Structure 1
Amino acid sequence: MSDTYVSDTHRRLIYMANQIARNFCALDHDAAAAATADHIAQFWDPRMKAAVAGDEADLSDVAARAFAILREQGEPAPQTRATVFNDADEGGRSDAG
Structure 2
Amino acid sequence: MTATEPSECRMANDIALNLAHLPAGQAATELAGHIGRFWDPRMRTRLRALVDSDAPGVHPLVVQAVKLLR
Name the TM-score class by shorter chain.
0.7 to 0.9
Query: What is the number of residues matched between the two proteins?
Result: 63
CA displacement, residues 26-72 of structure 1 (integer Å, 9 cap, x when unaligned): 1011100000000000100000000111322231010110001101x
Indicate the structure whose relative CO is greater, using CA pairs within 8 Å and at least 6 residues apart: 2
Partner of 1:45: 40
Share of identical aligned residues, percent? 35
Does residue 17 (structure 1) correspond to residue 12 (structure 2)? The answer is yes
> TM-score normalised to the size of structure 1?
0.60
Please tell me the root mean square deviation across aligned C-alpha atoms, in Å. 1.3
- Where does structure 1 differ by over 3 angstroms across 4 or more consecutive aligned residues? none
The structure whose residues are more often helix, as a share, is: 2
**Structure 2 gaps, min length 5:** none
TM-score by length of 2: 0.82
Structure 1 unaligned residues grouped into runs of 5+: 1-7, 72-97
